[in-house]
A = this chain, B = another copy of it.
Amino acid sequence: MVSTIDASARSKALDIIKSSMREIIEQIEKGEKPTLVMPKRTLTNTIYDYKHKMLLLGPELQKRSFTDVNEAKKFMQTLLMASIIYDALRNNEYPTIRDLYYRGKHSITYKSIDGKRVSENTWDEQRESDSVIRDLEVLLSVLREDLLILSKEKGKVVGNLVIRSGDDVIDLSKMGHGAYAIEPTPDLIEFVDIDAEYILVVEKDAVFQQLHRYGFWKKNKAILVTSAGQPDRATRRFVRRLSEEYNLPVYILADSDPYGFYIYSVFKAGSITLSYESERLATPTAKFIGVMMTDIFGDSIFRKIIKDREARKILEEITPGITDLKPKTPYLSESERSNFIIKAKTRDLERAVELIGYRVAEVCIEEKDAKNKIKKKEGLTGYPWFTTPQWVRELCIFFNTLSKLEIEAMASKGLKFLADKYIPEKISTGDWID
């Protein structure tokens, strides 16, 4: 019943775990203290590689020794998790991280040095077992998907693309009004045939449905993907592989708010706390196509801000070249704007500061109340990939207007407008942010 692809992935994974654990056995046989050595998964060891435009783990290593009282528990948790995963692989299973948490959760009772009976849990919360899985990923230099650990998966795709998954060949241009739900192990997909010029990733499933139904991908030779909100690992890996292997541009269409900008950021550079994944999950060439603040407001607000000498100086210092940006005209009329925009919440403001840093916010926010709300974020410098003239302009307009806008508002101007004008025009004129 099980596909040959899974069978070979399984035996590969078993070998990887076996050879890593063999090292421990060798240490013991040599009389050494059993020790695990793996890259450090800390923020200080997370580096943004400007050349590859990716978050990567740095060179720092950490050791987990069985005989060190501070490390013994972590050492044992790691070995416990490795053995559970090993057993699952051997038993033809496909555990989830929730499963693995349950499988390993139990109490160990032992006699302490002073003769007391002590009982300790392997782990209490899933947070703990998840962290152990991450340790194993960096220890073994694999992603959990390579160990056939599955997870829920929201990503969908349609387009002129033929894939082989499991034992089936699937034509993703023949999905009717439905779509193909991406598998949780996208590295096991084989791309058989493709006829596309770019990949359009839509944040919202409902907008994906509209564009799909309208025939957008046929008309524009696009591969249409939705992440249905915050993208999961499989969707990110799928987009990355497709763009890399066929050298296709990736455009992200998300809401015009810090949450939408963050979704672009996760596709492009990955999560800052899970940088070890980025090397395989991030798509550094991904471009934000919209909805931009400048699509809503144009850039007159921004030009007014940088008329102020002091503001201009600070913003030029943060991103040289910001005063040379080409002017932009909005897609929305005054009355559409007033019907469509939504007031930003404190959480939006805070997230925006996390993206771009406190200084941009300080220069652009006029409202006192809003200024106070983000005081606690003072000192934040923002993510390197957001510190570009275009993004600073976008965020500056956000901070000044304290407004946001959903893709649906663009669709409500007419699906024709969204599908036949807005998206194709932005792509053909290069009106995106890299």
- Residues on A close to B: CB < 8 A? 1-3, 6, 91-96, 98-103, 105-106, 150-154, 156, 163-170, 174-185, 188-189, 204-207, 209-210, 213-215, 218-219, 228, 335, 339-340, 406, 408-409, 411-412, 414-416
Contact = CB atoms under 8 A, between A and B. Distances in A.
Nearest to A171: B168
A150 B213 contact: yes
Given A1-B218, A2-B215, A180-B180, A99 B412 contact: yes
7 contacts: A2-B214, A3-B177, A153-B209, A168-B175, A176-B189, A180-B180, A183-B209
B176 A167 contact: yes
Contacts of A152: 204-206, 209, 228
B3 A94 contact: no
Nearest to A172: B178
Contact of A210 (B150, B170, B188, B209): B150
Nearest to A215: B1
A209 B180 contact: no
A209 B150 contact: yes
A214 B414 CA distance: 44
Given A2-B215, A106-B339, A150-B206, A180 B177 contact: no
Given A96-B411, A150-B209, A416-B93, A170 B166 contact: no
Contacts of A177: 3, 6, 165-166, 183-185, 188-189
Given A94-B210, A175-B180, 8 more contacts: A6-B213, A95-B411, A98-B206, A98-B412, A102-B412, A150-B206, A154-B228, A165-B176
Contacts of A416: 91, 93
Contacts of A95: 210, 411-412, 415
A168 B174 contact: yes
A3 B335 CA distance: 35
A258 B320 CA distance: 57
B99 A411 contact: yes
Contacts of A207: 96
A141 B25 CA distance: 71
Nearest to A156: B181
B204 A176 contact: no
Contacts of A335: 106
A95 B414 CA distance: 9
A47 to B, nearest CB: 32
B102 A206 contact: no
Contacts of A6: 177, 213
Contacts of A151: 206, 209
A205 B184 CA distance: 11
Contact of A102 (B164, B204, B408): B408
Contact of A174 (B105, B170, B209, B215): B170
A416 B177 CA distance: 35
Contacts of A175: 165, 168, 170, 180-181
Contacts of A182: 178
Given A1-B219, A106-B339, A339-B105, A415 B180 contact: no
A158 to B, nearest CB: 9
A338 to B, nearest CB: 9
Contacts of A166: 176-177
A177 to B, nearest CB: 4
Nearest to A411: B99
B183 A180 contact: no
A3 to B, nearest CB: 7
Contacts of A188: 177
- The winner among A101, A184, A213, A228 for most chain B CB atoms within 10 A is A213
B176 A178 contact: no
A214 B209 CA distance: 30
A410 to B, nearest CB: 9
- The winner among A178, A204, A406 for most chain B CB atoms within 10 A is A178
A342 to B, nearest CB: 10
